[in-house]
Amino acid sequence: MPEIAEVETVRNTLKKQILYKKVKEVQVLYPKMILSDLEEFSTLLKGNQFVDIKRRGKWLIFELEHHFLLSHLRMEGKFFLKNSKEEILKHEHVVFSFLDGTDLRYHDTRKFGRMELILKEELATHPSILKQGFEPGDEELTVEYLLEKFKNKNIAIKTLLLDQSIISGLGNIYANEVLFASKINPFKKGKEITKKEAEQIIKSAARIIKRAIELGGTTIKSYTSSLGVMGRFQQELMVHKQEGEPCKICGSFIRNEKINGRSTYFCAICQK
């Protein structure tokens, strides 16, 4: 599942691969993936070029001359650079062919990812972009901000960490890791989170995301960066997918319980 660190890795990789290449042709093999008008999508991209790639939370923002192409990878979306001659695979749903004989191909086994082409001035008011909260490492992500967001919340802190309008970019992997590092029980309600705990969340999230980006993200079954390189943060996971393994701090078994339908990995001893 690409989260902020994985999306950042994809962004960095693609920036080295596709900037300033002229788009010759666009093929959309699964139309539902494109939220914009399909005809317009292809027409506007043809002859255009990507001049930069930005990111907001888990959203990739490809910059064109007068437009932005928004792309959300959801769970299994990946971009690959290939030779145009290679046969198009079953799960390659959008193909951008460049004049130089290469393709940027969007691959998504579960077809959950979405793309949308918007005018540059529409970015600031785009609902999905607009709702994003501050990111781990942002100066504005303060204790006061978090406590205000957690105030009166009767839902589990784990669920709140997945809320993109509070902290932008965390998914299941890093939400689990941040709570372990912060020694907070994932079932604890938002309104019960103390100042000290909010401080821990801020520090842990910044440190973990920074480290994960350095290591190229985490590779969980479905995810490889566009180069196909394995994210090495996998080796530093403390609780995520570690069910039944001994806690690296206290040795008791890591548990997996559902919170709001999502697998939640934690150490019941370390996370009181």
Partner DNA sequence: AGTGCGACCCGAACGC
Partner DNA sequence: TGCGTTCGGGTCGCAC
Q: Which residues contact 40 (CB under 8 A, 6 or more apart)?
A: 117
CB of 102 to DNA, least distance (A): 25
Q: Identify the active-site residue in 2, 8, 105, 135.
A: 2
Q: Which residues contact 186 (CB under 8 A, 6 or more apart)?
A: 156, 157, 158, 176, 179, 259, 264, 266, 271
Can you tell me which of 21, 24, 111, 211 binds DNA, judged by CB under 7 A?
111
Q: Which stretch binds DNA (CB under 7 A): 39-47, 108-116, 139-147, 193-201?
A: 108-116
Pick out residues in 186-245 that bind DNA (CB under 7 A): 190
Find the distance separating the first CA and the last CA of the chain, reported in whole Å: 27
Please give the Cα distance from 55 to 71 (Å, whole number): 9
Confirm or reject binding of residue 153 to DNA (CB under 7 A): yes
Q: Which stretch binds DNA (CB under 7 A): 41-49, 226-234, 242-250, 259-267?
A: 259-267
Please give the Cα distance from 134 to 129 (Å, whole number): 11
46 is catalytic: no
Nearest to 56 by CA among 8, 16, 112, 1: 8
Please give the Cα distance from 108 to 190 (Å, whole number): 34
At CA 206, angle to CA 272 and CA 75, rounded to 5? Answer: 85
Tokens of 186: 């994932």
Q: Identify the active-site residue in 11, 56, 58, 188.
A: 58
31 is catalytic: no
Q: Which stretch binds DNA (CB under 7 A): 14-22, 133-141, 146-154, 202-210?
A: 146-154
Pick out residues in 43-82 that bind DNA (CB under 7 A): 57-58, 72, 74-75
Q: How many residues bind to DNA according to rule CB under 7 A?
A: 33
Q: For strand 262-266 and strand 114-119, is the pairing parallel, antiparallel, or unpaired? A: unpaired
Can you tell me which of 171, 186, 216, 217 binds DNA, judged by CB under 7 A?
171
114 is catalytic: no
Question: Catalytic residues, which ones?
Answer: 2-3, 58, 262
Q: Where does this chain bind DNA (CB under 7 A)?
A: 1, 3, 32, 57-58, 72, 74-75, 90-91, 109-112, 127-128, 131, 152-155, 159, 162, 164, 171-173, 190, 258, 260-263
